[in-house]
Homo-oligomer: A and B are copies of this chain.
Amino acid sequence: MAATIRDVATAAGVSQSTVSRALSMPDLVNPATRARVLAAARRLGYQPNRAARGLITGRTGNLGLIVPDLSNPFFSSVVKGVQAAARAADYSLFIADTDEEATAEVELLLALTRQVDGIVLCSPRTPDAELARVGVESAVVLMNRRIEGRPSVTVDNADGMRQAVEHLAALGHERIAYVAGPRTSWSNGQREQGLHRSAEDTGTDLVHLGHFPPRFEGGVAAADLALASGATAVIAYNDVVALGLLSRLGARGVSVPDQISVLGCDDISMSAMTHPALTTVSIPKREAGRAGVALLLSLLADTAAAAEGAPAPHRELHAQLIVRATTGVAPHPDRRTAGGHSTKGTTR
């Protein structure tokens, strides 16, 4: 059996309380006895039982994180951020993967709530109404979803899309296709809004394709539609879909970016490793994870304020267009100053 606080107390010749205090409120004990206690603790390899502590303090020292798919590189990065922030604050982290199932989300939420002080719910698939109905004890921070009255961390997806459209418009593109992600995705909705607004502002035609599953195969399937649409540039719901586009376009012998430009979103690490590399709208994934934990901790710090009808805190992060040295985005084929394309332009 592992050493308990009693063993340490006996070994140090003091009472349990003294041991407890020596460990968690060091200034309240005599330096000499504290030293004795610490020595005994180390000698016995004592590790406090956090479950027992939580039973009385009401705080578990654990946080929970629920994500749709751990093997999706987007979520891996978020998880990494959450994990780092949790550890820095001396919290342990429960992680659960729902396999994209909305029902598993509520289930896990309920199962976790008793074991943690707070939960980060990442990119929830559960409908707003149902999510509102779930009453959990723990503090819950939503990530990549905004619900009025709920703490949340989001990214300015619409602005990210605006940057993308303005970039393409500046390069002379007049007709842009968007390969849409899942209908139920909040992020996709935000992105569509941003696209439509900035397409209008820049006087660009926007062709809406999909919805497609947010995977490689989604991009493969969308490629032919994108070509047929007459668009000279395609924006994909995310980088993985953009990679699918690149693959299918390559297979059809269509050159990127010479014949058509491809733009991704998320800035997963793979997006920099392809030929050509992807121009993409970078989402600060790790930062979002950190921010989620920070929000959670602030919520836990003053539960009083939370009980009062204080407005739910919300943190919005910035999305940033990334253009790489070699990239899948080029000027409109007819508007290039360099190369022999200008002739072609006047021929029309």
Whether B73 pairs with A71 at a CB distance below 8 angstroms is yes
Whether A83 pairs with B54 at a CB distance below 8 angstroms is no
Count residues on chain A whose CB falls below 8 Å from chain B CBs: 50
Whether B94 pairs with A93 at a CB distance below 8 angstroms is yes
Give Cα A80–Cα B79 distance, bound, in whole angstroms: 13
**A222 near B: Cβ within 8 Å?**
no
**A111 near B: Cβ within 8 Å?**
yes
Chain B hits for A135, CB < 8 A: 45
Contact with B along A45-73 (1 / 0, CB 8 A): 10111111011000010000000011101
Among the 9-residue stretches A14-22, A243-251, A332-340, the one with 4 or more Cβ atoms under 8 Å from chain B is A243-251
Within 8 Å by CB of A92, from B77, B94, B137, lies B94
Name the distance in Å between A270's Cβ and chain B's nearest Cβ: 5
Give Cα A87–Cα B51 distance, bound, in whole angstroms: 20
Name the distance in Å between A99's Cβ and chain B's nearest Cβ: 8
Name the distance in Å between A326's Cβ and chain B's nearest Cβ: 8
Give Cα A69–Cα B94 distance, bound, in whole angstroms: 16
Name the distance in Å between A280's Cβ and chain B's nearest Cβ: 15
**A95 near B: Cβ within 8 Å?**
yes
Give Cα A135–Cα B47 distance, bound, in whole angstroms: 12
Among the 9-residue stretches A112-120, A123-131, A228-236, the one with 4 or more Cβ atoms under 8 Å from chain B is A112-120
Chain B hits for A87, CB < 8 A: 96
**A216 near B: Cβ within 8 Å?**
yes
Contact with B along A233-262 (1 / 0, CB 8 A): 000000000011011001000000000000
Residue of B nearest to A69 (CB): B80
Whether A55 pairs with B45 at a CB distance below 8 angstroms is no
Contact with B along A183-222 (1 / 0, CB 8 A): 0000000000000000000000000000000001000000
**A273 near B: Cβ within 8 Å?**
yes
Whether A70 pairs with B79 at a CB distance below 8 angstroms is yes
Chain B hits for A55, CB < 8 A: 49, 51-52, 55
**A275 near B: Cβ within 8 Å?**
yes
Give Cα A71–Cα B78 distance, bound, in whole angstroms: 9
Whether B273 pairs with A243 at a CB distance below 8 angstroms is yes
Known: A51-B54, A73-B71, A247-B275. A114 touches B80 (CB 8 A): no
Whether B84 pairs with A80 at a CB distance below 8 angstroms is no
Chain B hits for A114, CB < 8 A: 2, 47-51
Chain B hits for A92, CB < 8 A: 94, 96, 111-112, 115
**A274 near B: Cβ within 8 Å?**
yes
Whether A244 pairs with B273 at a CB distance below 8 angstroms is yes
Give Cα A55–Cα B4 distance, bound, in whole angstroms: 12
Residue of B nearest to A51 (CB): B51
**A33 near B: Cβ within 8 Å?**
no
Known: A55-B52, A73-B73, A87-B96. A111 touches B47 (CB 8 A): yes
A80-B97, A94-B95 known; 5 new pairs, CB 8 Å cut-off, are A51-B52, A52-B55, A70-B76, A76-B76, A93-B94
What are 26 contact pairs spanning A and B, CB under 8 A? A47-B113, A48-B114, A49-B55, A50-B114, A50-B115, A51-B55, A51-B60, A51-B114, A52-B55, A70-B76, A71-B76, A71-B77, A71-B80, A87-B96, A92-B111, A92-B112, A92-B115, A93-B96, A95-B95, A216-B273, A243-B270, A243-B273, A246-B275, A247-B273, A247-B274, A270-B270
